[in-house]
Amino acid sequence: MDIHSVFIAVFILLRCNPGESFISNSLRVIQEVADGTVGAVAKRVVDQVRKVVDVSATASQNVNDSSLLGKIREGVYDVKNGIISGVDEVVGTPVTLDQLTFYLVTAENVENPTIIDFFKPDDLAQTNGRIIFLIHGWMSYTNSVFYTDLSKIFTSKYPDSHIVLLDWDQPASDYYPFSAFDTESVGEYVGILINRLLANYGVSLANILLIGHSLGAHISGFASKTFTKITGKKLPRIIALDPAGPLFVFRPNSKRLNKDDADVVMVMHTDAGVFGYPTVIGTIDFFPNNGANQPGCWKKLKAINLATYSQPVTCDHSRAWKYFIEAVEITGSFPSRKCDSYENFENGNCDRNEIVTMGDLDTVATGSFFLKTNSKPPFSIPLP
Ligand SMILES: [Ca+2]
C-alpha cells in the first residue's frame, strides 16, 4: 500500500459539518452572489452540480499515458468539474518540517539556490533589501518557471533582494483536498521563519513580502496568521496570484486567505470560479479580462483533448503568475482601472477613476481594478 492509499484509509472525511462561522460565511458568499458583486462566475460555484464521471474509462479510450491518467485521477479533473465542492474537507496529519525545503536565491547566486537553515537562517537575513517568499500551488514544483523567472527578475531589478523559494512539492502533489488541508501547517512554518528573521536578526518587517499562487496564496495567509499570533503584528503585504477557490470558498476567514491577513492583500483573479477564488478576497483585487477566462486559453477548452488535459485546463489559472512576471519585469505595464464592474469598465463609465499597475509592489490603493490583456506575450495592453 503506498503512502497515498494510507492517507485515504486513515483520514477522516468530514462531510458538511457546519459550524456557526461556516454557515455565516457560506451565507455571506451566497449573498454576495445574489447582490451581483461577484459576477456570474461565482454563481457557477454555488450552483455546481456534483457529477461523478467515470474519467478513467473515458480517458483510457483517448490516451495511453499512465502518468497522465494518474494525474487526472489525482484531482485535476475533479476540481475542474466541481466534483470537489465546498463541503468536502479532509482532516489529516499536519506537514512536518522534513517535507519542506527553503531555498535562497540572491543576485550573486541566481542559478544555484542554496538551502536555508530553518533554525539558523543567517544567509537569508544578511540583506537590507526585500525578502521575498515565492510559494507555488498545487501540482506545481520548485523547478517551475514561476520560481526561476521571478527570481531572476527580482534579483536583477532589486540586487539587494533575497528570494526564498518554498519547496513544498511533496504535500503539493497530493490529491487536492489533502494538499488544501496541508496549506495551514505549511503556512505555520513560513510564519515561524519570518518571526525568527525579525526577532533574532533584526530584519525589518517592512522588507517582508509574500507572493503565493493558488494554494500558495492560502499558505501566505496562514503564514501571516501565525506571525500575527506570535507577534501581534501584521505583515505589510501579500500578493495572491489567483488564490485557490475549491474548498476555500466556504471556509471562514480563519481558514483561508482574507483581506485582514496583511496591511495590503493584493490579489489577481484569472480563473475565478474554477481553480481560482470566485470573489473579492483582498484589499485590492485585479480582474484581468473580468477574472474568469483569459484570452488564448478558453478557445482551447472548447475542443478539449484528454491527451493534453492538464495544460489547457489550468491555462487560465497559470495566467496569473505569467501576467505577474511580465508586470514585475516591465515597470508600468498592466495599467488597471478602478471600477465597480467589468461592464462599467468596458462601457467607459469609470474612465476618470484611479489607475494602478498590476506589478506595483508599493500600492496602497484599495478596491476592484479591471484591465484587458493580449492573448499571448507581451500580455499587457494600454487602457482604452
Ligand atoms: Ca476559467
DSSP string, 89-119: EEE-PPPPGGG-EEEEEETTEEEEEEEP-TT
List the grid coordinates of 218.
Answer: 492560502
- Best CA proximity match to 42, nearest among 285, 245, 213: 245
Spacing, Cα 177 to ligand 1 middle (Å): 20
The pLDDT of residue 67 is 52
Distance 292 CA to ligand 1 centre (A): 5
H/E segment holding residue 208: strand 208-213
Q: How far apart are CA 247 and CA 88, in angstroms?
A: 7
Sheet holding 208-213, edge to edge: 109-115, 101-106, 162-167, 131-135, 208-213, 235-241, 262-268, 284-288, 367-371, 335-338, 355-357
Please report the pLDDT score of residue 299 as a whole number. Answer: 57
Residue 75's region, left for phi above 0, alpha for psi from -120 to 50, else beta, is left
- Backbone angle region of 78, left / alpha / beta, with phi > 0 → left and psi within -120 to 50 → alpha: alpha
Beta carbons of 292 and 271 less than 8 angstroms apart: yes
Cβ 258 vs Cβ 228: under 8 Å:
no
pLDDT the model gives residue 312 = 54
Tell me: pLDDT of 304 over 50. Answer: no
* Residue 16 in this model has a pLDDT that exceeds 50: no
Q: For 157-211, how does the pLDDT look when each residue is reduced to its tens digit (9 = 90+)?
A: 999 999 999 999 999 988 888 999 999 999 999 999 999 999 999 999 999 999 9
* 325 CA → ligand 1 middle, Å: 20
Write down the pLDDT at residue 87.
61
Average pLDDT over residues 291-301: 78
Return the higher-pLDDT residue of 122 and 24: 122
Quick one: which of 319, 313, 240 has its CA closest to 74? 313
Q: Considering only 49-58, 66-75, 141-150, 206-215, which range has the smallest mean pLDDT? A: 49-58
Q: What is the mean pLDDT of residues 272-288?
A: 96
Residue 297 scores a pLDDT above 90: no
Nearest partner of 153 among 132, 136, 167, judged by Cα:
132
Average pLDDT over residues 302-319: 63
Rounded distance from Cα 298 to ligand 1 centre (Å): 7
Of residues 294, 278, 287, the one with CA closest to residue 345: 287
Ligand 1 centroid distance, CA of 274 (Å): 6
Q: How far is the CA of 33 from the centre of ligand 1 (A)?
A: 17
Catalogue the active-site residues: 214, 242, 317
Give the chain's end-to-end CA distance (angstroms, integer).
58
Ligand 1 center–CA 302 separation, angstroms: 12
Q: Give me the residue label for grid cell 505569467.
A: 322
Q: Please give the model's pTM, rounded to 2 decimal places.
A: 0.81
Handedness of CA 373, 318, 330, 282 (dihedral sign): positive
Measured in angstroms, how far is the CA atom of residue 222 from the centroid of ligand 1?
26
Collect all residues with Cβ–Cβ distance below 8 Å to 294 and sequence separation of at least 6.
270, 271, 288, 315, 316, 319, 373, 375
